[in-house]
A and B are shown apart, each in its own frame.
Chain A
Amino acid sequence: MKIRLDTVVKTFETFRAVHGVSLEIGSGELVALLGPSGSGKTTILRMVAGLEYADAGAIYFGEENATDIPVRERGVGFVFQHYALFPHMTVAENIAFGMKVSRVKRSPQVIKARVRELLDLVQLGGLGERFPGQISGGQRQRVALARALAVDPRVLLLDEPFGALDANVRRDLRRWLRKVHDELGITTIFVTHDQEEALDLADRVVILDKGQIVQEGTPEEVCRNPANAFVVNFLGDANRLDAEIRDGKAFVQDVAFPAAGIADGGGQILFRPADVSWREDGQGIAARILRVIDRPDSRRVLAVTAAGQPVEFDTAPEFSHRKGEAGFLDIRRPRVYAAA
C-alpha cells in the first residue's frame, strides 16, 4: 500500500508540531522517520495511524483519501513504544484481540491457527499461555508486533520500537524485523531518534527537525550528501569550526577548504572525528591536545584550536602524543556550509 502525505499540518495547544510535511512512501518500503525529540516524527506517525487528526493537509492510502477515516477502520498495525500489551490477557489472547473484535467473523479454530502461525513468525511458539508480565521486554515487543500483524494491516507503524530495550536485544531485534519485513513485504514506517537504527534498518530515511523534513533519501544518500549542518550533526559525531568564506573558499585560520557556490561571509566546516590526522609539520589548523581518552580499538583525542574551538578526533591505539603538546589538524572530507 502506497502512502502519501500532502502538506500535513498539526498544531497542539502550545506549539506547532508538524509544519506542512509532504512525503511519499512506496508500497512495501521500509521507511524511518528520524529526528530529535520534538521534531514531530511521532505526531506524523500517529496521524498516519489516525490516532491524531491533521489540522490541514491530507493523507492518502493508495488512491484513497484516508485523512478522515477513523483509526479503527484505517487498517493499520501500530506497535507502541512501551508495547501497550493488554496485561490481563495472555499472549495468545493479545494476538487474537484484533480478530475477535473484527466485523469479519472468524471461527475459534481459524483464530487459534492464525495465533499459532504468528507466534511462530515472531519465534515465541509455546509462550501463548503466558501473561505479558511474565515475559521479557524483547519478547513483549515481538508479541506487540504479532498482535499488530494479526489483522492483516495495510501499513505497519512502529513508534520507537526498540527504544525501551537494551543494546544487544536491540540489535538482534532490528535485524530480525528487517527479515520479517522482507518476508511479508508490508509497507512499514518506523520512528526513531537513533540514527544507527534508522541507517541499519530502513530502505529510506526521512530526517525531521522542528516539524519539517530536512532531508530524505537512502541511508547512503543522507550519509554521503547531508543537506545541512543539522543532518551532519544528527547522523553522527561531528566537529564544527567557524570559517570565513571568500571567493569560493572557506578559511579556517590560514587553511583553505573548497566552498564552491557558497556566498561570501560567515561559514562553518564540519567533519567527522575519523577524518582528522595529527601532524607536527605545520600543515593544517594549529591546535593543542587537552586530553587523550583510551578506547578498546582507538584513542580519542580532545584538542582545542588556536582560536579556542574544541575538536575531537580518533587515532590509532599507537598514537603517542600527550596532553599539552601542540601540532596541526589535517582535515579530510570537510563539509562547508554557510553560518547558521
Chain B
Amino acid sequence: MKRRVLPGLPLALGVTLVYAGVIVVLPLAALIFKAASLGPEDYWRIVSSERAFASYRVTVLCALAATVFNLVFGLALAWVLVRYRFPGRRLIDALVDLPFALPTAVAGIALTTLFATNGWFGAPLSAIGIKVAYTPLGIIVAMSFTSLPFIVRTVQPVLEELDPALEEAGQTLGASDLSVFRRVILPLLAPALLAGISLSFARSLGEFGAVIFIAGNKPFETEITALLTFIRLEEYDYPASAAIASVMLITAFVMLAATNLMQARALRYTARG
C-alpha cells in the first residue's frame, strides 16, 4: 500500500463514519421512522392539511424571494469587496459574517424592533403604506439577513481568482459590458452561485429563530413550516411533527441533489480529456 503523509487513515475514517452516523444520519432516520409510524393515509392527511399547505407556501415563497434578493445583493457585495479598494472595506468584509455569528433570535428581535411600525425603518415605511413586521415581507427580511453570507462567501473566492484579463479580452473582441457579464463572468461564477443559492435557500427554508419574532405567526398567513413543526411538538403530537418535518427534509434533499447535478454540468469544462 502507498505510504500516506498523514497517518491513521483507518482511525480517522472510523471516527468520521461514526460521527456522520450518530450526529447526522441517526436523527434523520429517527425522524423518518417516527413519520413512518403513521399510516400512509394519516401521513398524507397531515402533510396536506390546509394549514400545513399554507405554511409550505409561505416558507417556500419567502425563501425564494430572500434568495433572489441575496443573489443580486450578495453578488454585488462580493464584486465590490473583491474589485474595489476603499476605506472600510475590511470592516464590511467582516460584517458579512455577522449573521453567522449572531444568535438568530437576537437578529429576529433586532429586526422586529427596527421594522415595527414605530421602529427606525418601520415608521417611515409604514408612512408610505409598507408594513414589514408581522407580514410575509418581514419573513423575507429575516431570511435574507440570516442567509446573506452564503452567497457572498461562495462567490467571493471565485471572483478573486477571475482574471481581469478575461473581461478585457471580451472587450477587445467587441463585446459590450452586458455581453461580457452574461457570456464570460456569469458562466464562470455559475457553479459558485449555484452552491450559494442552494445553501442560502436551504437555510431560509429552515430558519426559525429570526423569523418567528418578526413573522407574527398567524396561521395560513405568516406561519412558517418550521414553526408548525414546533407547535405540533408542543402539543406532544410527535408523529405529526415528524411528518411535516419530513416534507422539509425531502425538499432540502431534492434541492441539494438538483443543484449538485447542475453544478457538475456547469463545471464540465474543467474535466481533463
* Chain A positions near chain B (C-beta within 8 angstroms): 49-51, 71-78, 80-82, 84-90, 97-98, 100-103, 130-131, 133-134, 147-148, 150-151
Contact = CB atoms under 8 A, between A and B. Distances in A.
Contacts of B179: 101
Q: Which of A72, A76, A130 has the most CB of B within 10 A?
A: A72
A49 B170 CA distance: 13
Given A97-B183, A101-B179, A51 B168 contact: yes
Contact of B172 (A77, A87, A90, A134): A77
Given A72-B172, A97-B183, A84 B270 contact: no
22 contacts: A49-B172, A72-B171, A72-B173, A72-B174, A77-B172, A78-B169, A80-B168, A80-B169, A82-B163, A84-B163, A84-B168, A97-B173, A97-B175, A101-B179, A101-B183, A131-B270, A133-B270, A134-B272, A148-B173, A150-B173, A151-B173, A151-B174
A72 B272 contact: no
A85 B169 CA distance: 8
Nearest to B172: A78
B188 A98 contact: no
Interface of B: 163, 165-166, 168-176, 179, 183-184, 187-188, 269-270, 272-273
Nearest to A77: B172
A97 B163 CA distance: 18
Contact of B165 (A82, A103, A150): A82
Contact of B170 (A87, A97, A130, A131): A97
A151 B169 CA distance: 12
Contacts of B273: 130, 134
B175 A101 contact: yes
A154 to B, nearest CB: 12
B168 A101 contact: no
Given A84-B163, A84-B169, A72 B269 contact: no
A75 B171 CA distance: 10
Contacts of A147: 169, 173
